[in-house]
Amino acid sequence: MENRINNLLKNKDNILSIYFTAGYPRLEDTVKVIDQLVESGADLLEVGVPFSDPVADGPVIQQSNTRAIENGMTVKLLFEQLKDVRKKVDVPLIMMSSLNPIMQYGFENFCKKCKEIDVDGLIIPDLPIEEYVESYKSIVEAHGLRNIILVTPASTDERIRLVDEHTDGFIYMVSSSSTTGENKNFTLDFEAFAKRLSALNLNNPLITGFGIKDKMSFDQVCKFSKGGIIGSAFVNALSEGADVAESIKKFMVQFD
C-alpha cells in the first residue's frame, strides 16, 4: 500500500525535509508552521513530539522541546491541533518522537490516531530495529504508516541491511556520529559514509539528516542521497523573529 512518502520518493529528487518541534515557539504555532512551510516549498515535514530527554538532539532542539513542554504541548493536544491539517496540506507528514511519549499514549492508539488524521509515517530514534520488527512493525503497517529508521556511521553493515529489509520508504541517513547541529567535519564524514552505503546496494533511498543548515549543505547531501533534512538551523530561525510566518519565509527563501 503506497502513501505520500512513496509517491514523493518516486517523483522527486532533492527532497527538502524540515523538522520542527510542535508547540514551539508558542503552543498555538504548530499548524501555522506547517502551513507556512508548505507554502514556502518544503517537500516533507517532520513534526517533533516534545520530550524532556530527546535522543541525539543538540542544544537548539533540546531547548525547543523544553519550551514546548512548558507551553503545555502534549501528544493528545498535538493530535487535536492536527485534526484538520489535511484540509490545506498534502505533503507527507512524519511524527518524530522518542518512544516514551508514544508508549505513554499507547503505541497502537498512537498509530490509530496518526491514521485518523492522515499522518504518513513515524521516526522513533530510540526504538531498536530488532524490537521494532518483533513487537511493533505489524501495528505500524496495519495502520498504513511508514516507519523511518536511522542509520549512522557506527551502524554495522549487517544492521544497515536489516534496516533496509524492514523499510518501505526511505532510510534516514545520519551524516555523522555527532548530535544534531554540531558536526564540524560534515563534508568528510558524510561523504565517507555515503560511499559506504552506496556499496551496500540498498533497496531503499536515503535522505540525510544532521549537520544540514543551509542551501549549500543541502545541495551537498543531495549529490549522494534523495534529499536532506534541516532541523536545528530551522528551529533556530523560528526563535529569532516575533512573527513565525515571516521567520519561515526568510529562512526558506534560500531554497527558491
Domain segments of the chain: what residues?
4-255
Give me the catalytic one of 29, 43, 57, 168: 57
Give me the catalytic one of 2, 13, 35, 46: 46
Q: Which pLDDT tens digit goes with each residue over 128-154?
A: 999 999 999 999 999 999 999 999 999
Which of the four pLDDT bands, split at 50, 70 and 90, describes residue 184?
Answer: low
- Smallest CA-to-CA distance from 118 within 146, 148, 93 is with 93
Asked whether the predicted pLDDT for residue 202 surpasses 60, the reply is yes
Q: Residue 144, class by beta-carbon neighbours within 10 Å (0-12 exposed, 13-18 middle, 19+ buried)?
A: middle
Q: Which pLDDT tens digit goes with each residue over 97-140?
A: 999 999 999 999 999 999 999 999 999 999 999 999 999 999 99
Q: How many CA atoms lie less than 13 Å away from 32 in the CB half-sphere?
A: 15
Which of the four pLDDT bands, split at 50, 70 and 90, describes residue 55?
Answer: low
Whole-number mean pLDDT of the chain?
93
Cα 250 to Cα 181: distance, rounded to the nearest angstrom: 20
Rg (CA), the chain: 17
Which of the four pLDDT bands, split at 50, 70 and 90, describes residue 160?
Answer: very high
57 is known as an active-site residue: yes
Q: Which fold has domain 4-255?
A: TIM Barrel (3.20.20)
165 is known as an active-site residue: no
Cα 184 to Cα 176: distance, rounded to the nearest angstrom: 10
Helix (H) or strand (E) holding 95: strand 93-96
What's the predicted TM-score (pTM) here?
0.94
